[in-house]
Amino acid sequence: MTKPFLTVAMATYDDFDGVYFSIQAHRLLQDSSDCEFIVLDNNPDSEHGKTTREFIQGIAHNERIRYIPFTESKGTTQTRERLFKEAEGQYVLVTDPHVLVQANGLHRLKEFLRNSDPEMQKNLFTGPLLYDGMNYVATHFECLFRDQMEGAWATAWKHPDGTLVVTSQSPQGTVQMRPLHPEGLGDWVATDISWPGHEKALMDRGYKVAGMDSNDPPFEIPAQGLGLFCSSKEHWLGFNPDFRMFGGEECYIHRKYRAAGRQALCLPFLKWVHRFGRVGGPKYPLTMEGKVRNYILGYRELGLDPEPIRKHFVDEIKVPQQRYDMIAADPVNFTPYVAPKQPQVDAIGTSNLGHPLPVSAQNLGQVAEFLLKNPRDLDQHINAFMRWTLDCDTAVEITKRRESTAFLLAALGRKACQGKCNRESCDKSQCKQTAELYSWQEEGDTLLGILQEHVKIHEGRPLSYTVTMADLTEPVQEIPEADFLFLDTRHTGERLLTELNLYSPMIRKRIMVHDTALYGVIGDGNTKGLWWAIKSFLAENLEWFVAEHNDAQYGMTVLSRVPEDRPKDETKPWPKTDKEGKPCGCGTNLKAWLKKIGIEATPNCSCNARAKVMDSMGVQWNKDNIETILDWLNEEATKRSLGSLFFRPAVKLVVQRAIAKAEKDEANGLCG
**Following DSSP, what letter does each residue of 381-428 receive, concatenated?**
GHHHHHHHTTT-SEEEEEES-HHHHHHHHHHHT----TTTT--TT--G
Q: Is the pLDDT of residue 598 over 50?
A: yes
What confidence category does residue 432 fall into, taking pLDDT thresholds of 50, 70 and 90? very low
Report pLDDT for 534.
94
Amino acid at 346: D
Least confident of 106-110, 421-425, 524-528: 421-425
The Cα–Cα gap between 343 and 362 comes to 12
- Measuring CA to CA, how many Å separate 97 from each of 13, 15, 194, 242, 277? 9, 7, 38, 24, 13
Which residue, among 540, 539, 543, has the nearest Cα to 507 in the 3D structure? 543
CB atoms within 10 A of CB 470: 16
Mean pLDDT value of segment 114-136 = 92
Which residue, among 599, 515, 499, 589, has the nearest Cα to 549 in the 3D structure? 515
Residue ranges of domains in the chain: 6-128+218-274, 288-329, 364-422+431-565, 586-667
Residues 6+ apart with CB under 8 A from 573: 516, 520, 531, 546, 549, 551, 557
CB-based burial, 135-164: b 16+ in 10 Å, e otherwise: eebbbbbbbbbeebbbbbebbbbbbeeeeb
Report pLDDT for 587.
87
Q: Which CATH architecture has domain 364-422+431-565?
A: 3-Layer(aba) Sandwich (3.40)
Report pLDDT for 179.
94
Report pLDDT for 434.
86
| pLDDT-above-70 percentage for the chain | 92
Report pLDDT for 347.
46
Mean pLDDT value of segment 261-281 = 87
CB 97 within 8 A of CB 15: yes
Rounded to the nearest angstrom, the gap between the alpha carbon of residue 57 and the centroid of all alpha carbons in its chain is 36
CB 496 within 8 A of CB 514: no
The Cα–Cα gap between 81 and 92 comes to 11
- Measuring CA to CA, how many Å separate 546 from each of 191, 404, 538, 567, 582? 63, 20, 9, 8, 21
What confidence category does residue 552 fall into, taking pLDDT thresholds of 50, 70 and 90? confident
Report pLDDT for 603.
61
- Measuring CA to CA, how many Å separate 415 from each of 408, 426, 448, 510? 14, 14, 22, 21
Which residue, among 309, 287, 288, has the nearest Cα to 298 in the 3D structure? 309
Q: Is the pLDDT of residue 4 over 60?
A: yes
The Cα–Cα gap between 169 and 151 comes to 16
For 220-236, how does the pLDDT look when each residue is reduced to its tens digit (9 = 90+)?
999 999 999 999 999 99
Report pLDDT for 283.
53
Q: Domain 6-128+218-274: which topology? A: Spore Coat Polysaccharide Biosynthesis Protein SpsA; Chain A (3.90.550)
Which residue, among 192, 239, 221, has the nearest Cα to 80 in the 3D structure? 239
Least confident of 216-220, 360-364, 385-389: 360-364
Report pLDDT for 176.
93
The Cα–Cα gap between 461 and 167 comes to 63
For residue 478, with 0-12 CB atoms within 10 Å meaning exposed, 13-18 middle and 19 or more buried, which class applies? Answer: exposed
What confidence category does residue 584 fall into, taking pLDDT thresholds of 50, 70 and 90? confident
Four-point Cα dihedral 417, 423, 429, 431, nearest 10:
-40
What confidence category does residue 285 fall into, taking pLDDT thresholds of 50, 70 and 90? low
Report pLDDT for 424.
44
Report pLDDT for 109.
96
Report pLDDT for 610.
79
Highest mean pLDDT (candidates 235-244, 281-290, 519-528) = 235-244
Residues 6+ apart with CB under 8 A from 249: 76, 77, 80, 226, 239, 243, 294
What confidence category does residue 429 fall into, taking pLDDT thresholds of 50, 70 and 90? very low
SS3 10: strand
The Cα–Cα gap between 555 and 514 comes to 6
Tell me, what DSSP letter sits at residue 316? I
Least confident of 30-34, 282-286, 312-316, 337-341: 337-341
What confidence category does residue 671 fall into, taking pLDDT thresholds of 50, 70 and 90? confident
Mean pLDDT value of segment 558-564 = 94
Count of alpha carbons within 13 angstroms of residue 174, beta-carbon side: 9
Mean pLDDT value of segment 558-565 = 93
Average pLDDT, the chain: 86
Is this model's pTM higher than 0.75 or not?
Answer: no
For 608-625, how does the pLDDT look when each residue is reduced to its tens digit (9 = 90+)?
767 877 887 788 888 988
CB 440 within 8 A of CB 470: yes
Residues 6+ apart with CB under 8 A from 566: 545, 547, 560
Task: Determine the Cα angle at 336 with ends 330 and 342, to 5°.
Answer: 170
Q: Is the pLDDT of residue 278 over 80?
A: no
Which residue, among 146, 138, 158, 258, has the nearest Cα to 205 in the 3D structure? 158
Report pLDDT for 517.
82
Count of alpha carbons within 13 angstroms of residue 509, beta-carbon side: 21
Report pLDDT for 330.
84
Tell me if domain 6-128+218-274 and domain 364-422+431-565 are identical in fold: no
* Residue 427 zone, left/alpha/beta (φ > 0; ψ -120 to 50; rest): beta
- Element containing residue 22 per DSSP (H, E): helix 16-29
Tell me, what DSSP letter sits at residue 125? E
Q: Is the pLDDT of residue 378 over 80?
A: yes
Least confident of 47-51, 134-138, 325-329, 559-563: 325-329
User: Which has the higher per-residue pLDDT, 171 or 493?
Assistant: 493
Instruction: Give percent helix, percent strand, percent coil of the chain, each to the nearest 5.
Output: 35, 20, 45
User: Which has the higher per-residue pLDDT, 326 or 152?
Assistant: 152
Q: Is the pLDDT of residue 418 over 60?
A: no
Mean pLDDT value of segment 507-529 = 90
State the pairing for strand pair 507-514/219-220.
unpaired
Mean pLDDT value of segment 512-532 = 88
Least confident of 206-215, 377-386, 573-582: 573-582
Task: Determine the Cα angle at 65 with ends 62 and 70, to 5°.
Answer: 150
CB 446 within 8 A of CB 352: yes
Mean pLDDT value of segment 139-164 = 91
Q: Is the pLDDT of residue 87 over 80?
A: yes
